Amino acid sequence: MNIMEKENNLKSWEGIIPVTTKCEICQKEIWYNHKEKVMSIHFDLSNKRVSEIKYPMQWLSRNPKSKEAMFEWDLCCFGYLCYDCYMAFLNKDKQTIADSLNLYVRKQTDAAMHAPYLAAQRQLDNGKIIE
């Protein structure tokens, strides 16, 4: 397959894959098929057990858009990540990271909600305000 065919195949996926979108983690703007890796979409595979697509950009360049190809692509449920987030989560247990992050955010939110009450409590000494 020559370079022109690969480019045409990649172009055929525009619209199915957004030309521009935001990283699903950090919200940085990213682009499909951008030549600079720090600005391009990095496809994060959500379900490795289902996927036959190990290298998404290679697969896209070799498979023009068709009903069969779109079905196979959709089964993978690829996430759209920026380079930094992709590298940070590569080969990591994403569920454990997400659970830890969720717990941290809830803890911070709870602390922020209770901070005025806690501060007022610390100002009291046996029911009297400390000056």
Task: Extract the residue ranges of the chain whose pLDDT is less than 50.
Answer: none
pTM over 0.75: no
Domain identity same for 1 and 47: yes
Domain identity same for 21 and 70: yes
- Give me the pLDDT at residue 118, please: 64
Length reported for the chain: 131
Domain identity same for 31 and 54: yes
Q: For residues 77 and 24, is the Cβ–Cβ distance under 8 A?
A: no
The structural domain count of the chain equals 2
The residue among 34, 15, 14, 32 whose CA lies nearest residue 80 is: 32
Angle of CA points 82, 22, 5, to nearest 5°: 70
The residue among 39, 41, 37, 38 whose CA lies nearest residue 13 is: 41
- Give me the pLDDT at residue 28, please: 97
- Give me the pLDDT at residue 11, please: 97
